[in-house]
Every structure is written in C-alpha cells, then in structure tokens.
Structure 1
Amino acid sequence: MEKETVIKELNAFLKGQYMGIRAYEHLIERLEDPEIKKVFQGFQQDHRLHAAIIAERIQDLGGVPENNEGLAGKIQGFMSEMMMPKDTEGIVKLALKGEDVYGIKLSEEIVKGDLDPESKKMVEGIIDTDRKHAAILDTLVH
C-alpha cells in the first residue's frame, strides 16, 4: 500500500469529518429542544475527536492533514443551509440523512480498499460511531 494513496484517502475522510462538524454547528443553531441540542453537541464532539485522530494518523504517515471540509463540502454545506428545516423533526431527519449518507455510506466508499491495516481499523471504528449516531437519530425520529 502506497503511503501517498493512504494519506489521500484519509484526507478525503477527514474532510467528511469537518463537514459533520460544520453541519452539526448549523443544526444546533436552529434547535430549540435542549435535550436534542445536547445529543447533537455530543455528536459534534465525536466528529471533532475523530478529525483530530485522523489528522494525527496522516501526520504519522508523513502527510499534511486537511484543515477544512474543502470546496465541495462548503458548497454542500451552503446548499443544506438554504434548505434547512425549521422544525425539530425536520432537523433530526436531516441529521439522520447526513450521518447515513455522508457519515457512513460515502465514508465507506472513500476508504474501500485503499488503507493500510492500522488506518482501516481506525476508520472502521469511526464509522461504527457514526452508525450509533444514526441509530440514536432514528429513535428520535420515530
């Protein structure tokens, strides 16, 4: 496995973590329910921790970690903000879609087969946390 490829894939994954941090920031701003706001703040902290872990791994491999969600992430964030629901249920559904589509499915695609064993284990652990987030969000919707 070539280090440059691993670093590139980890940086793509890292951008996704930054997208999650930013998305939760916007969702938390709109939430009025203090209990759900606390849940979202916890999820945002998880994404911050994951970003730090991935950035450290990239540095350990000799790479330079990304420090934001990138242009595509910024555009996606802007579009999401424009279509942001105003009610709690809509906000929770949007967060569930974000965790499911971006946090899990796209992350799995980004890192499929292009990581060394240590990085793969690290990323799989992070995706497992995203699955837990999605399960919690699913219970909040239903």
Structure 2
Amino acid sequence: MIKTLNQLLQGQYMGVHAYEEFIKNLEDSSPLRSRFMTIQQDLKHHAALLSERIQQLHGTPATSEGVIGKIELSISQLFDHPNGEKDILKHAIKGENLYGIKMTEKLVRDELDEESLNLVHQILDKQREHVDYLKSELH
C-alpha cells in the first residue's frame, strides 16, 4: 500500500514540475498563468496529503518524482516544445488525463485501504476539475 501511495506521490511531483515548465512558457499577462499556478498549488497540496497518509501508515514518503519520472520529464522537455497557449493547454490536458487520472486509476485498483482510497478519489475529482477547466479554455 505504501509503495502504491509513493508512486502516486511521485506522480504529483511530476505534475508540479510539468506545470512549472508550462508557467515558464506562458506570458506574464496570460490569464492562464495564474490558473496554472493554482493548479500547481493543488498538486503540491495533494502531495502533502499523500505524504501525510504514507507517514500515518509508518512509511517514508518519496521526496521527488523519482528516477523514471525525471527521465520522462526530461524526454518530454526535449521533444515536446509547446508553442503558444493552445499547445500548452493540449500538453496540460494530456498530462492530467494520461499521467494524472488514468495512471492513478490503474495503480489503485485493489491496492489501498478505504481511507487511502477516499483520499485518492478526492485527488482524482480535483484532477478531473482541472481537465474540465483546461478543455473549456481550449475551446
């Protein structure tokens, strides 16, 4: 269970760093910039909640996205250079959907106790809100 929660925690760190890159690539005057900062704060909050839960279970929380996460982030930075707000929105939607929601759902199947599962569902609900917002901004 702790291993699964740590994998989810590493995913939150990946998201934090991905949004850091998105924010850097947005103009200061872009209305998306402040919204992306809010989403990044949500991800940091989720990481803190997961860390706390891991400690409650007497585990040691991860402190970064891990080696694989760093490699994935580096590769995406090398090959995926979003140009403009629409491109950044598309990348953010893909990241939230693929890495945030789908990977989380796959990881937690039959792996967690009820309290941990409730926490993960709260995080997933928030991530779905992020995707809905991002999609609305894209269209």
Shorter-normalised TM-score: what interval? over 0.9
Partner of residue 50 from structure 2, selected from 49, 54, 63: 54
Residue 24 of structure 2 is aligned to residue 24 of structure 1: no
Q: Which whole-Å deviations, capped at 9, do the CAs of 1:54-104 have from their partners, x for residues lacking one?
A: 000000100000000011110111112121212111001100100011110
What stretches of structure 1 move > 3 A for 4+ residues in a row? none
In 1: Cα distance, 2:19 partner to 2:122 partner: 20
Rounded Cα–Cα distance in structure 2 between residues aligned with 1:76 and 1:104? 17
Q: Which amino acid aligns with 2:118?
A: K
1:86 equivalent to 2:83? Answer yes
- Consecutive unaligned residues in structure 1, runs of 5 or more: 1-5
Quick one: distance in 1 between partners of 2:110 and 2:102? 14
Structure 1 Cα separation of the partners of residues 81 and 36 of structure 2: 15
Uncovered stretches (5+) of structure 2, i.e. residues with no partner: none
Tell me which of 30, 34, 52 is aligned to 2:30: 34
2:74 is aligned with what amino acid?
F
Q: Secondary structure at the match of 2:11?
A: helix
What displacement does 1:34 show?
2.4
Counterpart of 2:131 (choices 127, 130, 134) is 134
Corresponding residue of 1:101: 98
State the partner residue of 2:110. Answer: 113
**Secondary structure of the corresponding residue to residue 63 of structure 1:** coil
Letter in 2 for 1:25: E
Q: Which moved more, 1:30-39 or 1:129-138?
A: 30-39
Does residue 68 in structure 1 map to residue 64 in structure 2?
yes
TM-score by length of 2: 0.96
Identity over the aligned pairs, expressed in percent? 44
Task: Say how many residue pairs are matched.
Answer: 137
| Alpha-carbon offset, residue 10 of structure 1 | 0.2
